[in-house]
C-alpha cells in the first residue's frame, strides 16, 4: 500500500507534463501484471544502451506502461558503448549496460556533469558450445580456453589442446569486438580486453555463432546461452561444454543452479542499468518509480527473456542504493508512487 | 595471292572448336544473367518458408500481426506500429525531398548558366547518389538529433532518408525535364509566355510522369533503408503507434532487424512475415512507377521527337 503525494518537481521540461497525483489510495503493484491502477506517474523516459540488456528493460518498460497509462518508455538500444556516449551527454535518462562504465566514459560523464548510479538487474551467461557429435570435449579448463583463444594462439587442431583429442582443425566462432560480450570474454579469459586471436570467425549476431557450430562437428564457439538454448529447443545439434570454475576448480555446465549459485564463474556476467541523477531530480517520481518497478520485478523480467536472475541480495542492495540517492537529492523514498518490495 | 596460300591461311582454324567457343560464351552470358534471378528466387523462397514456419509452428495470427504494435513477448508482437511508422516516414520523406529535388533540377536545366560551376554541381550530384546511406544517418544524428536536439523521432528519420534520395530524384528529374523538346518551349515563348509560365504550364506537365516515376523509385529505396534509421535511433520494439512526426518509432526494416537477433525463435518467424509485408510495399511502389512510365510513354509522344 502506498500513500501517494505530489512528487518533488524542480522544473517542468518539455518531456514532462507531470500531473498531480490526485488519488490517495491503495496502489497495488503486486507482481508484474498488477491491475492498471490510475497512478499519477506520467512522462517519457529515454532508455539507451546495450543490445543484450535491452530486452529486459523492454519487458520492464512494457509492464510499467501497462500499469501507468501516461508513461512512455522508449528503449532505443545502440550497444553499451554507443549508449554510454548518449547517456554521458545527458541525452538519455536510463542506460542498460552489459558491462560496467569504463574510465573513458566516466570522463565524458564528468565533462557533462552527469552523475549516476548503477544497479545489477540480472546475469547473462556465456556458454562454450560444440557440436552434438563432439564426444571428446566435455570439459575444459580456463587455461585451455585461454590457450585456444588468446592473441597469436598456436592452437590449430583439437590435438594441440589435449593430445588425446582428434587431429582435426578447430573452427572458431564468436562475437566481434563491437560487443560487450567480447569485452567480457576477452577480459576474463584472455586476461585483457581485446587480447584475442585475430583469425576466428567474428560475427555481430549470436545466432550466427551457434548456427555455424551446429553445422560443423569440429567447431567451437562462445556466446549467450539464451540463444543456444532456444536453438536446442528447436532440435539443434548443439551441446554446452562444462567450464572450470574459478571458485573451486570443479567443472560446471551453464545451468540455472550453477549460474545463480555463482559456481559458473567467470563466464556468468552481471547486467546493469544506470540512471542519471539529474533526471531523477527533475522527474523524481517518474524515474524512481520506474527504477523501483524494474528492481521489484527484475527476477521475472530477466528470466522471461532468457537471462538469469541476480541474487536476492542484489535486489536489496539496489533498493538501498536507490533510497540513499533519493535522500541525497532531498526526496523522501516513501513518497514514490511505486513502493519498495524486498524479496 | 594464290589460291593455295589462301587455303593455307584458313588451315589452322578448327571450325568445330570455334563454334564450341561460341556456344560456351553464350552459355556463360546466360548463366550470368540468370544468377541474379536465381538468387532472388532463393531469397524469396527462403523468406516464404520462414513465414510459413512462423504461421504453422509458432501459430502467428495474421490479423494480430498486422494490427498490433510490437512487444518483447513474441506471442503478443505485431507489425502494425512499424507499418504506420514507415508510412509516416514515406510521406514526410516525399514532401521534404520532392520540392527540393524538383526545384534543383529545374534550376539546373532551365536557369543555370552553362559554366564550370554548373558542371561541378552536376558532377557532385552524381557522386552524392553514391554516398553510403549510413553517412547520411550519421550526419542527421550529429546535426539534427543531437545538436538541434530533435531527438530520435520520425521527422529526424525522414530528414535522413530525404537527404539520401534527393540526389536520385534530381538526376531523374533532370532527365525528364531535358526530355521536353526545346521546340515546345520556344513555342510557348513565341506566344508571349514568361519563363515561369512556360515551366509551369508546358515543361512541368510534360516532365511530371518522369519526375514522379523517379520519385517513387527513390521512395522504394528509402522505405527499405535500415542503416540511416539505426543511426538516428529507433526503438527496440515499436510498442506504440506513432502519433505524429515527433514520435519515437521503429520502421519496418529496423523492426525486422531487431527481431532477427532476439533469442526467442518465434521472432524469426515474425521477421520473415515482416519481410513479406515490406516486399509487398515495394512491389506496389514499383507497379505504380511502372504504370506511370507506361502512361508517360503513351502520352509523351512529343518528347520522343
- Chain A residue numbers with beta carbons less than 8 Å from the beta carbon of B71 are 62
- Over range A25-38, report the average pLDDT: 36
Helix (H) or strand (E) holding B175: helix B154-178
Q: How far is it, in rounded angstroms, from Cα A12 to Cα A19?
A: 11
- In CATH, which of 3.30.450.20, 3.40.50.460, 3.30.499.10, 3.40.190.10 is domain A43-123+270-335? 3.40.190.10
Model pLDDT for residues A142-163, shown as the tens digit of each residue: 999 999 999 989 899 999 999 9
- Over range B136-142, report the average pLDDT: 92
In the prediction, which pLDDT does A184 show? 87
Tell me how far the alpha carbon of residue A79 is from its chain's centroid.
11
In the prediction, which pLDDT does B298 show? 67
In the prediction, which pLDDT does B263 show? 78
CB contact under 8 A, A305 and B264: yes
Q: Which residue in the set B234, B262, B264 is minimally distant from A76, CB to CB?
A: B234
- In this predicted structure, the answer to whether residue B228 has a pLDDT above a threshold of 70 is yes
In the prediction, which pLDDT does B5 show? 61
In the prediction, which pLDDT does B262 show? 83
Q: Which residue in the set A55, A62, A304 is minimally distant from B262, CB to CB?
A: A55
In the prediction, which pLDDT does A262 show? 83
Model pLDDT for residues B176-212, shown as the tens digit of each residue: 999 999 899 999 999 999 999 999 999 998 899 899 9
Note whether A80 contacts B: Cβ–Cβ < 8 A. Answer: no
Identify which has the larger pLDDT, B79 or B293. Answer: B79
**What confidence category does residue A224 fall into, taking pLDDT thresholds of 50, 70 and 90?**
confident
Q: Domain residue spans in chain A?
A: 43-123+270-335, 124-268
In the prediction, which pLDDT does A207 show? 83
pTM: 0.78
What percent of chain A is predicted at pLDDT more than 90?
Answer: 46
| CATH, domain range A124-268 | 3.40.190.10
Q: How far is it, in rounded angstroms, from Cα A5 to Cα A335?
A: 6
Q: How far is it, in rounded angstroms, from Cα A329 to Cα B5?
A: 106
- In this predicted structure, the answer to whether residue B38 has a pLDDT above a threshold of 60 is yes
* Identical topology for domains A43-123+270-335 and A124-268: yes
Q: How far is it, in rounded angstroms, from Cα B59 to Cα B76?
A: 11
Identify which has the larger pLDDT, B266 or B8. Answer: B266
In the prediction, which pLDDT does A130 show? 94
- Chain A residue numbers with beta carbons less than 8 Å from the beta carbon of B235 are 74-76
- For chain B, the average pLDDT equals 89
Angle at A200 between CA A140 and CA A178, to 5 degrees: 100
Q: How far is it, in rounded angstroms, from Cα B36 to Cα A268?
A: 45
- In this predicted structure, the answer to whether residue A18 has a pLDDT above a threshold of 80 is no
- In this predicted structure, the answer to whether residue A31 has a pLDDT above a threshold of 70 is no
Residue of chain A with shortest Cα separation from B145: A91
Which grid cell sits at B223? 522505405
Instruction: Kindly state which CATH superfamily the domain B65-304 is placed in.
Output: MetI-like (1.10.3720.10)
CB contact under 8 A, B263 and A233: no
ipTM comes to: 0.71
Pairing outcome for strands A268-276 and A94-97: antiparallel
In the prediction, which pLDDT does B85 show? 95
In this structure, chain B runs to a length of: 305
**What confidence category does residue A27 fall into, taking pLDDT thresholds of 50, 70 and 90?**
very low
**What confidence category does residue A206 fall into, taking pLDDT thresholds of 50, 70 and 90?**
confident
How far does B189 lie from chain A, in Å, by closest CA?
55
In the prediction, which pLDDT does A77 show? 83
In the prediction, which pLDDT does A34 show? 38
Nearest to residue A165, comparing CAs of A239, A106, A217? A217
Identify which has the larger pLDDT, B50 or A98. Answer: B50
**What confidence category does residue B151 fall into, taking pLDDT thresholds of 50, 70 and 90?**
confident
Nearest to residue B145, comparing CAs of A80, A79, A78, A278? A78
Residue of chain B with shortest Cα separation from A301: B72
Amino acid at each position: 500500500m502506498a500513500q501517494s503525494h505530489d512528487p518533488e518537481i524542480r522544473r517542468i521540461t518539455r518531456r514532462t507534463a507531470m500531473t498531480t497525483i490526485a488519488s490517495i489510495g491503495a496502489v497495488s503493484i503486486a507482481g508484474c501484471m498488477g491491475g492498471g491502477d490510475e497512478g499519477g506517474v506520467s512522462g517519457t523516459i529515454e532508455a539507451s544502451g546495450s543490445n543484450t540488456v535491452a530486452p529486459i528493460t523492454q519487458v520492464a518498460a512494457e509492464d510499467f506502461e501497462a500499469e501507468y497509462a501516461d508513461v512512455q518508455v522508449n528503449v532505443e538500444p545502440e550497444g553499451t558503448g554507443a549508449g554510454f556516449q548518449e547517456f554521458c551527454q545527458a541525452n538519455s535518462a536510463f542506460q542498460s549496460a552489459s558491462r560496467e562504465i569504463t574510465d573513458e566514459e566516466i570522463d565524458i560523464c564528468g565533462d557533462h556533469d552527469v552523475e549516476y548510479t548503477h544497479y545489477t538487474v540480472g546475469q547473462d551467461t556465456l556458454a562454450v558450445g560444440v557440436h552434438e557429435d563432439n564426444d571428446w570435449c566435455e570439459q575444459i579448463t580456463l587455461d585451455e580456453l585461454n590457450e585456444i583463444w588468446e592473441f597469436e594462439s598456436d592452437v590449430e587442431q583439437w590435438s594441440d589442446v589435449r593430445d588425446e583429442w582428434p587431429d582435426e582443425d578447430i573452427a572458431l566462432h564468436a562475437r566481434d569486438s563491437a560487443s560487450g560480450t567480447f569485452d567480457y570474454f576477452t577480459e576474463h579469459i584472455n586476461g585483457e580486453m581485446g587480447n584475442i586471436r585475430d583469425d576466428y570467425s567474428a560475427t555481430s549476431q549470436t545466432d550466427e555463432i551457434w548456427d555455424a557450430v551446429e553445422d560443423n562437428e569440429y567447431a567451437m564457439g562462445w556466446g549467450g546461452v539464451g540463444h543456444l538454448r532456444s536453438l536446442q529447443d528447436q532440435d539443434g545439434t548443439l551441446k554446452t561444454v562444462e567450464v572450470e570454475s574459478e571458485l573451486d576448480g570443479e567443472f560446471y555446465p551453464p545451468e540455472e543452479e550453477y549460474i545463480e549459485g555463482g559456481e559458473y564463474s567467470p563466464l556468468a556476467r552481471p547486467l546493469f542499468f544506470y540512471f542519471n541523477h539529474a533526471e531523477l531530480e527533475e522527474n523524481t517520481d517518474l524515474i524512481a518509480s520506474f527504477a523501483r518497478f524494474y528492481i521489484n520485478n527484475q527476477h521475472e523480467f530477466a528470466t522471461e527473456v532468457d537471462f538469469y536472475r541476480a541474487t536476492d541480495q542484489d535486489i536489496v542492495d539496489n533498493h538501498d542504493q536507490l533510497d540513499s540517492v533519493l535522500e541525497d537529492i532531498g526526496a523522501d523514498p516513501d513518497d514514490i508512487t511505486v513502493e519498495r518490495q524486498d524479496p | 595471292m594464290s589460291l593455295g596460300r589462301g587455303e593455307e591461311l584458313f588451315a589452322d582454324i578448327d571450325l568445330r572448336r570455334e563454334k564450341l567457343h561460341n556456344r560456351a560464351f553464350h552459355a556463360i552470358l546466360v548463366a550470368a544473367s540468370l544468377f541474379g534471378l536465381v538468387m532472388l528466387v532463393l531469397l524469396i523462397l527462403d523468406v516464404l518458408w520462414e513465414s510459413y514456419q512462423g504461421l504453422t509452428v509458432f501459430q502467428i495470427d495474421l490479423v494480430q500481426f498486422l494490427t498490433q504494435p510490437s512487444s518483447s513477448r513474441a506471442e503478443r508482437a505485431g507489425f502494425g506500429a512499424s507499418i504506420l511508422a514507415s508510412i509516416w516516414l514515406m510521406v514526410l520523406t516525399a514532401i521534404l525531398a520532392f520540392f527540393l529535388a524538383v526545384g534543383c533540377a529545374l534550376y539546373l536545366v532551365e536557369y543555370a548558366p552553362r559554366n564550370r560551376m554548373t558542371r561541378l554541381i552536376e558532377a557532385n550530384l552524381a557522386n552524392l547518389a553514391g554516398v553510403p546511406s549510413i553517412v547520411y544517418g550519421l550526419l542527421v544524428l550529429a546535426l539534427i538529433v543531437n545538436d538541434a536536439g530533435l531527438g530520435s523521432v520520425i521527422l529526424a528519420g525522414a530528414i535522413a532518408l530525404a537527404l539520401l534520395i534527393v540526389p536520385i530524384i534530381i538526376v531523374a528529374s533532370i532527365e525528364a525535364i531535358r526530355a521536353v523538346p526545346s521546340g515546345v518551349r520556344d513555342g510557348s515563348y513565341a506566344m508571349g509566355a514568361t519563363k515561369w509560365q512556360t515551366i509551369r504550364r508546358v515543361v512541368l506537365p510534360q516532365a511530371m510522369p518522369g519526375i514522379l516515376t523517379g520519385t517513387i523509385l527513390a521512395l522504394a529505396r528509402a522505405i527499405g533503408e535500415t542503416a540511416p534509421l539505426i543511426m538516428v535511433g529507433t526503438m527496440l520494439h515499436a510498442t506504440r503507434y506513432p502519433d505524429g512526426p515527433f514520435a519515437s518509432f521503429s520502421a519496418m526494416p529496423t523492426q525486422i532487424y531487431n527481431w532477427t537477433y532476439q533469442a526467442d525463435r518465434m521472432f524469426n518467424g515474425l521477421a520473415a512475415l515482416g519481410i513479406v509485408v515490406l516486399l509487398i510495399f515495394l512491389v506496389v511502389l514499383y507497379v505504380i512507377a511502372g504504370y506511370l512510365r507506361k502512361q508517360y510513354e503513351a502520352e509523351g509522344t512529343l518528347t520522343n521527337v
